[in-house]
Structure 1
Amino acid sequence: MEARGQGEKRRAEEAVAGGEEAVLSLVDVLEQDEALEDEACAVLGGSDAEKCSYPEGYVKRQALYACNTCTPNKEGPAGICLACTYKCHEGHDLFELYTKRNFRCDCGNGKFKHLECKLFPEKENFNAVNKYNANFFGLYCTCKRPYPDPEDETPDEMIQCVVCEDWFHGRHLGAVPPEHLEYQEMVCQVCMKRCPFLWAYAAQLAVPTVTKITPAESDHEDIKVEDTAVESITVQNGSNGKTEENTIQQYTKHQQVQEEKDKHNGPSTSAETAQKCTNGDISNAVVTEANPGTACKLQENKRHEGHRTDTATFWPSNWRSKLCNCGDCMKMYADLEVVFLVDERDTVQAYENKGKNDEDRERKDPLMAALSSMNRVQQVELISEYNDLKTELKDYLKRFADEGKVVKTEDIQQFFEELQSRKRRRVAGMQYYCS
């Protein structure tokens, strides 16, 4: 839901606000088109637009939609795949859900009273493993408002929680989303309470955040900073306060120390019986039966657990690889239904990369495809014609740029008409000789 191409949009809005006519150059249009195409490839992740995904079972991650026409909020929630939006719900009021994990297409099943799936009608009445939330009715965040919200004029980005997969306004996360350090994923407040073991890792792995000041605290000068890499500190206006730069340096230093610990983490020598990791409540080093000789990472991080707060947490791209996968922790993940956290292929980034890579493989240069089927003489002639066309088109468009004019559809049509006319004159003027 985060807006793309904001620079071009902002320039156009500023031009309109200043009484100017919003004009985009051909380069701007091409760049926007390419950005939109890349975004579509990322969101769709290689989803099939022709075949219903139901036969594939509970797909690891896919683009999903909800139909407000067929299943309004007074009905049970339902999710449909990309192909079904085209074939079965054309012209309907759809909610784009971005992506959901482990979901099976509901189109035409028992949740739909008056619709049968045109692509795969042989569906069971219900998909027992599917999980639903308010997103399926077009409502998001703790405020349960639509997006975009016609009654909310406050500019704010929407961020998806990696656990519950709901979307949240940045201002409703209890902490300001970090900008000074890159983060890849977010876990909301509710999910941090449901998975408290994450606080043990947050002290070493999570990106530092700035805790929002409540109205009652607005008279104070201090701004509370939740530095998840070190103990909580206070940023003050005085000279003795910690600066943001110091926070970043400490965070980086702790990250490096933790990585070195991971590299040199040897076999555990503890003779104590393996402790249960449930809810992160563990106090002694454990040696598991699943991975004998491997210390539980959760216990190690538990020693450095920092202050827990009622805020969301933000995580870098590699944080999942540092979670413990010992037998007890894996059981804990299963009990909490978050086993996907130790699967880096589950990340939205991995999903988006797959979509982009699939699209790149499908994109073929028409010129190269044509050249591969020609002999050398034909190849040289085609390349020569192509270069001539490119040069003429460039010179033609340059005239518009020099004069500050906007290129219109009829201008392009006129160019090709003149090009064909010149070609016909050249052919008509040729003389042919027989030897």
Structure 2
Amino acid sequence: MASEDTKDTVTVGEFLELQKSLEEEAREVLPWNFDRCTYSKGYLRQAVYACKTCKSSSDSSPGGVCYSCSIACHADHDLIELFNKRNFRCDCGTACFEESACQLEPKPQDALNETNCYNHNFEGRFCWCKVDYDPEREEANMHQCVLCEDWFHENCIDGEKQGEKNFSLPDLDSFEEYICRTCTSKHSFLKLYKNSYMFFSGTTVRKNEEASATDNDKKQKNDEFQVETFVSTNKRKLGDDQEIDLKITALTKKAKNDIECKLERWESVMDSIDVDLFCIQNWRDELCRCNKCMYLYKSHQIEFILQEEETYEPPHDDDTHTSLFDSGMKLLAQMDRVTAIEGAIAYAKLRDDLVEFLKPFDDSGKTVTEQDIRAFFESKRSERKPSDTNSFF
């Protein structure tokens, strides 16, 4: 037989092994039950999938759906897996998707999750480079920032992709989480943790902003950082409650039992230097919890950094480890007796007909093609009587 005819040929044994492999892969990728939408649970940190098919207009960003809706309502849509996003509520069936209704939990037509945040990830773009993500072609490792939850390429982090490698990343096994330079610049007091043994750090001096200050200027800047920057990083207008909190903090600092601020012991970092932090195991234990720093976490709205966040996971699917055959037998057992018997008889007849159909191929050694199988089932359909609407096959 010509190799041209056999290059895509598989044996029955190979097909069964492939089926088994696909079932195992499905169990790993989809281990949870997907019969309930998370909308009613409110805003959660949960796995989110952006649906480009259902976005409300060409100019808008796609909305995000929960794990269950990604399967039950959007399985055949253009989805982007965003992994975990905090404070996110499922958009399936809301005004964000206009006419697309949720199959799991109907919502009011005008429902809108105003607190949800949508960034370029929802368009399928990640990292500072904002390149469209293609899981089939992407080979570089990517790291998710603990704060902004965006994903960054390793060669973008160290500068290699831009043609100027600034530092080498630590080994993957040596750190657990990552904080990007954009976030340490936004929350500049975090830069000081580059001095801590609980963090590996990579530093980059911004182009056109290289330090030209004298040693005295640097010392003055360091002194100013310790005295003023902790408060000046809060760029929002202080409300009455915040002003009270600030006054309480100032008074508490004078107390003898005030916790010493770890950050004040460390060398400051100039604004022109970008800092990437690679956090080792139990790194949160190192975060300073003095009154001054606690005020900073609150004013910067990053109090969640102080403890590992709870991430919602749907209940595990009881049928995860069940094969397709076992699932079919389970459904058969749930049918009434007459229907189950009719189903078993229909299955036995189909099996016998298929064996009879395949026998000539076995005798002659001829390869069974997809067209042959399609022709067989098409003949079975044509044999059915128009009135046989309740038939299994």
> Which bracket does the TM-score occupy, shorter chain normalised?
0.5 to 0.7
Find out whether 1:339 has 2:308 as its counterpart.
Answer: no
Q: Do the aligned partners of residues 300 and 325 (structure 1) sit closer, same or farther apart at CA in structure 2, a change above 3 Å counting?
A: closer
Q: Is the 8 A contact 1:279 1:332 kept in 2?
A: no
For 2:203 and 2:298, the matched residues in 1 are separated by 31
Equivalence for 2:128: 142
Q: Is the 8 A contact 1:176 1:212 kept in 2?
A: no
Q: 2:147 aligns with which of 146, 163, 178?
A: 163
CA distance in 2 between partners of 1:167 and 1:211 (Å): 19
1:189 touches 1:312 (CA, 8 Å); kept in 2? Answer: yes
Shift of 1:194: 0.6
TM-score normalised by L of structure 1: 0.51
Q: 1:169-199 CA distances to partner (integer Å, 9 max, x unpaired)?
A: 1111134321176111111111110111112
The one of 163, 175, 178 equivalent to 1:186 is 178
Opposite residue 192 of structure 1, the aligned amino acid is T
Please point out which of 74, 80, 85 is paired with 1:89: 74
User: For residues 114 and 56 of structure 1, what CA distance do their matches in structure 2 show?
Assistant: 23
Shift of 1:35: 8.3
Tell whether the 8 Å contact from 1:278 to 1:329 is kept in structure 2 after alignment.
no
Q: Return closer, same or farther for 1:102/1:28 CA change in 2, 3 Å cut-off.
A: same
Q: Secondary structure at the match of 2:132?
A: coil
Task: In structure 2, give the amino acid aligned to 1:301.
Answer: L
Partner residue in 2 for 1:278? 231
Structure 2 CA distance for aligned equivalents of residues 116 and 39 of structure 1:
25
After superposition, what is the alpha-carbon deviation per residue over 1:290-335, rounded to whole angstroms, capped at 9, x for unaligned?
Answer: x983414xx3233213545324221112111222334443332222
What amino acid sits opposite 2:262 in the alignment? Answer: E
Q: How many residues align?
A: 265
Q: Following TM superposition, by how much is the alpha carbon of 1:337 offset from its aligned partner in structure 2, in angstroms? A: 1.8
Which amino acid in the other structure matches residue 189 of structure 2?
F
In 1, the alpha carbon distance for the partners of 2:116 and 2:175 equals 28
Q: Quick one: which amino acid aligns to residue 87 of structure 1?
A: A
Please, which of 108, 113, 124 is the counterpart of residue 127 of structure 1?
Answer: 113
The letter for the 2-side match of 1:138 is G
In the TM superposition, residue 100 of structure 1 has moved relative to its aligned partner by 0.7
CA distance in 2, matches of 1:75, 1:128: 14
Quick one: which amino acid aligns to residue 129 of structure 1?
A: T
SS at match of 2:47: strand
Match for residue 305 of structure 1? 267
Once residues 362 and 154 of structure 1 are traced to their aligned partners in structure 2, the CA distance between those partners, rounded to angstroms, is 32
In structure 2, C-alpha distance between the alignment counterparts of 1:207 and 1:27, rounded to whole Å: 46
Distance across 2 between alignment mates of 1:52 and 1:313: 36
Work out whether 1:314 is the aligned partner of 2:278: yes
Distance 1:202 1:320 in 2: 14
Rounded to whole Å, the distance in 1 between the matches of 2:74 and 2:25 is: 27
1:110 aligns with 2:102: no
CA 80–307 in structure 1, closer or farther in 2 if over 3 Å, else same: same
Rounded to whole Å, the distance in 1 between the matches of 2:25 and 2:232 is 42
Once the 2 structures are TM-superposed, how far is the Cα of residue 212 of structure 1 from its aligned partner? 8.1
Aligned equivalent of 2:61:
76
1:86 Cα deviation from its structure 2 partner: 1.9
AA partner of residue 122 (structure 2): F
Task: Give the aligned partner of residue 56 of structure 1.
Answer: 41
Aligned to 2:259: 295
Q: Percent identity?
A: 32
Deviations 1:333-389 (A, max 9, x none): 22212111012234xxxx59x78xx75999899xxxxxxxxxxxxxxxxxxxxxxxx
Change (3 A) 1:176 1:126: farther
Equivalent residue runs for 1:184-333 within 5 Å:
184-209=176-201, 277-278=230-231, 288=252, 293-296=257-260, 299-305=261-267, 307=269, 309-333=273-297
- Secondary structure of 1:345's aligned partner: coil
d(CA) in 1 for partners of 2:81, 2:104: 20
Q: Is the 8 A contact 1:275 1:286 kept in 2?
A: no
Q: CA deviation at 1:161?
A: 0.8
Shift in Å at residue 99 of structure 1?
Answer: 0.9
Is the CA contact (8 Å cut-off) linking 1:287 and 1:295 kept in structure 2? no
Q: Distance in 2 between matches of 1:305 and 1:58?
A: 39
Report the CA distance between 1:122 and its aligned residue.
Answer: 2.2
Give me the CA root mean square deviation: 4.4
- Whether the 8 Å contact between 1:201 and 1:302 is mirrored in structure 2 is no
Is the 1:287–1:294 Cα contact (8 Å) retained in structure 2? no
- Structure 1 unmatched runs, 5+: 1-23, 215-273, 366-435
Do 2:201 and 2:276's aligned partners in 1 also have CA atoms closer than 8 Å? no
Distance in 2 (CA, whole Å) between partners of 1:28 and 1:301 is 57
